[in-house]
Chains A and B, each alone.
Chain A
């Protein structure tokens, strides 16, 4: 019997080649997309899950009440971690972590490594297996370094790395470190990514030694593992006394400024963020949102695409059933039971599904490389393959097959024997299911298309918005060097200034956007002004900073070499001027570190020095010649941008032949910060294109069938005088009605969802009705084009031919 089913399945599929082909193509594409997107999402969701203690690891962060509300920070003072472990019960292990990118030298080789500095407990808390050397704890001793397998190979080649000495540039001298261990390469799905790890106490003096006993300098995150008996909530509660003791000064300041205590009556509350949520968490000063939108959005798209393809399958299955009525009737006459018929038709579906899963999988494997490049992801099938995932995948495939294949099979097995034998299909109800399903398909397609249009517009808006500085003409360059940075900057200046195409050169300790070195940082400083605390972003700049970046000076002056006192002057932006609250900002004088008086000498116009998701915060420029400047900014002439870039590169290569040139224009840097948005836009675009194509495959197939079923009606209508165009309209109308209906459902939903998403951006586009009309219009036109192929052909047919078929 099985063989008989299989045989007839194959012959039927072959007989209806067009349908089988459309079905397999549609389903394979959908499965391919679902596999890739699902893999991407699961990879995102699996981040950090490899740590054995994942359930009990937390990052510490603090909610502080200020006069302006609650501020959130995950930066802690140096003595914090040790004190927390000693004074608050429940901490099993704790580690401070800092990261950086120092230059490491071995013999002739100099490499820039991504380095973590951490405490000994690091390797007990996190699961980074040691494969060579000190198995007990690679961070046991000061001046030791543990490196990953790949880094070891890069530095030492075939040589045994353990026991070798490398030097690292620190505080302007070369410090020797002994390789204590080699650790396994860091898994792709890890939030910590590093080449080497050092003892926390080996951090530069300005970071560690200078702040060793200070409770008011916050500069690193802290991670801890709770013991089995302690819950996070219980621990958080137990930290109240600790906060009140160690942060008494801060609390007093807050109270003085008029801060209100939180609901627990505290001014400062330590919280624990589960480490498994770290990769989804965005810490900024007023929230620590765990945001899993992207992976779930992508899972959602994968699901929607599968849904659309399954609906096609259901609709085509039902439609095809109408061509097999006689077979069904005859089988029933000969004694086939409902169960047997169900199994037969369902079997055919399983066959088509298996074929599609196979092709979809194959296609996904072939496209994996392209997918990884396009979406800048390291996700791969191997990385997420686990028995649970595989089982889940098989179960979902079975479920889809059961529903999408089972529903038409059920309908067919329930057909009335006599009617089926006569070739008559009961029309009641069934078309409603089909119409609803098709409307839902188009609803999804329109939703995704309008989402795509909104994302595009917002992305374009962010890329092209005038940020208040010149991003087209300015090259930024990280000053990675083993030399003295100030000296290098001077050399750079001497070599570039006056050269054709170079307009001006400056430097600062922070970058705008995201450079090729992939680093960005925020330094926020608070101080007392007239009895209250004011906070500002801090930027140490060199001369000509506003001039080089075309940041408009609206009051006072910029730093000038002629004024020796400028090292005690600051230039602020409008937001900071507002923060001071003086009528004349240039009159502001304030004390830092209780003794040194600074004065404001100039005000620049507000500009977006941070991402467009944030409103413009206060920023102050300091001009301290001794503070390190990590980035050079070079303004070049607007013509021949690439030639100027090459000139800068050439100069760099003569000055620093051993270090890679990482210069880039500021607009590239801004683009780089939009990575997530771009990824999301690409995904949704791809999803919406697929959705509309798949919906149209279904629509095309159904239009084929409806036209076939209506051949006689068309013939009669023509005989009594209907024109080709009336018939085309008649046939198209019923489908286009569905698209219009879908548009009416999809638009408010899409409006709501995109509005929600745009709320993430302080600067965003205003939704226009045109975006939604365009989405609906695109769907409508594509649908019309799809069905016209068949309807016009049918309408043109000679009525004699169509009437003959009866």
Chain B
């Protein structure tokens, strides 16, 4: 589903050029659950932004679903993004002025789904995430775990092929964190590809494969034992 080859990304200020990604290559197959780990500043988030089509690489190739997307302009990326990719962030990134229902509904609005269908689909997802009773509440009225569930609901509302999760449990306590990880696992089991950046070895264990990074490069890649057979 995703093939990156020799991917490069630099950040330049007036005086220094920092290499964030240094000829990074790997593949992610459809239906996989991949965890990306590494110390702060190793390029995890940069990678995730490029994979999420929020940013453009400076070199190398990025094939998404058989299409070379490196060099796509903002509008093309946005178009591809809104139909195929869902995001879950550490800080949830819910819009404070919108209710739970409206936050989840937002991607459907931008993909042009009719109101009646929107309501149906949002209700279904909220039901599934067990936050239906909170649909009229505003984000700040919810607990962290609930907020992240809303964010996950928003990420899956468009039935994306890929979900990118950036430290999804970073702001949560362990029980809420486990709940969210279970949610992601469930989604993965129904066929959604998941790429997750995390610091937590615990969370990484939910994945099939761990890619470890350092200084913009892949250092190791190990498939977790229970999936070796698959």
Contacts and interface: CB of A to CB of B under 8 A. Distances in A.
A4 B102 contact: yes
A1 B95 contact: no
A335 B111 contact: yes
A236 B221 CA distance: 100
A452 to B, nearest CB: 44
Contacts of B33: none
Interface string A2-21: 00100110011001000000
A304 to B, nearest CB: 35
Interface stretch (B13-21, B74-82, B123-131, B192-200): B74-82
B110 A333 contact: no
A418 B55 contact: yes
Given A15-B97, A327-B95, A334 B82 contact: yes
Contacts of B107: 334-335
A336 B54 contact: no
A270 to B, nearest CB: 71
A327 to B, nearest CB: 5
A328 to B, nearest CB: 10
B109 A4 contact: yes
Interface in A314-357: 326-327, 329-337, 340
B109 A1 contact: yes
Interface string B44-68: 0000010010110000000000000
B102 A340 contact: no
A653 B96 CA distance: 79
Contacts of A326: 93, 95
B81 A333 contact: yes
A329 B78 CA distance: 12
Contacts of B106: 4, 331, 334
A336 B110 contact: yes
A796 to B, nearest CB: 29
Contacts of A15: 96-97
B214 interface: no
A333 B55 CA distance: 11
Nearest to A340: B110
Q: Which of B49, B55, B78, B105 has the most CB of A within 10 A?
A: B78
Interface size class of chain A, counting residues whose CB lies under 8 Å from the partner chain: 20 to 34
A421 B164 CA distance: 15
Nearest to B155: A334
A1 to B, nearest CB: 5
Contact of A7 (B74, B81, B102, B110): B102
B97 A12 contact: yes
A335 B93 contact: no
Contacts of B75: 337
B95 A418 contact: no
Interface core residue of A11, A334, A337 (most chain B CB under 10 Å): A334
A8 B110 contact: no
Given A334-B107, A417-B54, A418-B49, A327 B97 contact: yes
B97 A8 contact: yes
Nearest to A417: B54
A329 B110 CA distance: 14
B87 A8 contact: no
Contacts of B87: 333-334
A7 B98 CA distance: 8
Q: How large is the interface on B (under 10, 10 to 19, 20 to 34, 35 or more residues)?
A: 20 to 34
A716 B194 CA distance: 41
Contacts of B97: 8, 11-12, 15, 327
B184 to A, nearest CB: 18
Contacts of A7: 98, 102
Interface string B195-211: 00000000000000000
A421 B82 CA distance: 16
Interface string B83-95: 1000100000111
Interface in A604-634: none
B126 to A, nearest CB: 17
A340 B109 CA distance: 11
B54 A334 contact: no
Contacts of B54: 333, 417-418, 421
Contacts of A334: 82, 87, 106-107, 110, 154
B60 to A, nearest CB: 19
Given A1-B109, A15-B97, A335 B79 contact: yes
Given A1-B109, A418-B55, A335 B82 contact: yes
Contacts of A340: 110
Interface string A421-455: 10000000000000000000000000000000000
B93 A8 contact: no
A428 to B, nearest CB: 12
Residue of A12, A15, A336 ringed by the most chain B CB atoms within 10 A: A336
Contacts of A333: 52, 54, 81, 87, 93
Contacts of B95: 8, 326-327, 330-331
Contacts of B93: 326, 329-330, 333, 421
Contacts of B74: 417
Nearest to A10: B97
Nearest to B151: A330
Nearest to B87: A333
A11 B106 CA distance: 16
A332 B79 CA distance: 11
A655 to B, nearest CB: 80
Interface string A93-119: 000000000000000000000000000
Contacts of A331: 95, 106, 110
A333 B98 CA distance: 16
A11 B103 CA distance: 14
Contacts of B55: 418
Given A4-B109, A330-B93, A335 B81 contact: yes
B103 to A, nearest CB: 9
Contact of B78 (A12, A327, A335): A335
Contact of A337 (B78, B94, B96): B78
B82 to A, nearest CB: 3
A331 B154 CA distance: 12
A342 to B, nearest CB: 14
Contacts of B110: 331, 334-337, 340
A527 B96 CA distance: 89
27 contacts: A1-B109, A4-B106, A7-B98, A11-B98, A15-B96, A326-B93, A327-B95, A330-B95, A333-B52, A333-B54, A333-B87, A333-B93, A334-B82, A334-B87, A334-B107, A335-B78, A335-B81, A335-B82, A335-B83, A335-B107, A335-B111, A336-B110, A337-B75, A337-B78, A337-B110, A421-B54, A421-B93
Given A4-B102, A418-B55, 11 more contacts: A8-B95, A11-B97, A12-B97, A327-B96, A331-B95, A331-B110, A333-B81, A335-B111, A337-B75, A417-B74, A418-B49
Enumerate the 3 nearest inter-chain pairs by beta-carbon distance, A residue then B residue, closest first: A335-B82, A335-B110, A11-B97
Interface of A: 1, 4, 7-8, 11-12, 15, 326-327, 329-337, 340, 417-418, 421
